[in-house]
Amino acid sequence: MHMRASQPVFQLYRRAGDDRVWWRLLSPNGRGLGRVGSPLEDLAGCLASIALVRDHLTELAPCVRLSTGVRWHWTLSLYDVVVVVGLCDHDRRIRSVEAWRRFVEVAAGAPIDVRVHDFVAAAPLDARDAPLGVVAHRSFDVHRMGVPSSF
């Protein structure tokens, strides 16, 4: 199933060499709005984490703080446990506040892309290239892996 780019979507993914699963909420233009606070052991845990965040959107406690380089970063906590982390730092506090509010605004209605993407990092071509980055990914259909689609 392919999600349309015209709506926000939860994306499930793994990092190279790690079986744990993460989720992130992508905006319609593909930019990340927020992600799970820490990796989850399996797909069922990842889907349950999304459900937990959605079920408690009005109870999430935002925290906006200064990070390194005098940039602003946000998190959302439930019962003093960070459950959502902003994906980037912002130059102004108000932009960080707007970012967590946008996450809360769209998370309830965003569908879940049921494919699990494996992100693979590659070594730079030479010393002048940027640090390691995502260069490819593979997708796996959650339904073929035995995870119920009711999440």
122: pLDDT confidence band, cut at 50, 70 and 90? Answer: low
First to last CA, the chain: 15
19: pLDDT confidence band, cut at 50, 70 and 90? Answer: confident
Q: What does the DSSP 8-state code read for residue 20?
A: -
pTM confidence score: 0.75
For 76-93, what is the mean pLDDT? 94
Average pLDDT, the chain: 81
Q: Flag whether pLDDT at 128 surpasses 50.
A: no
Q: Flag whether pLDDT at 5 surpasses 90.
A: no
Edge-to-edge strand ranges of the sheet holding 22-26: 61-67, 71-78, 81-85, 32-36, 22-26, 9-15, 112-122, 133-141
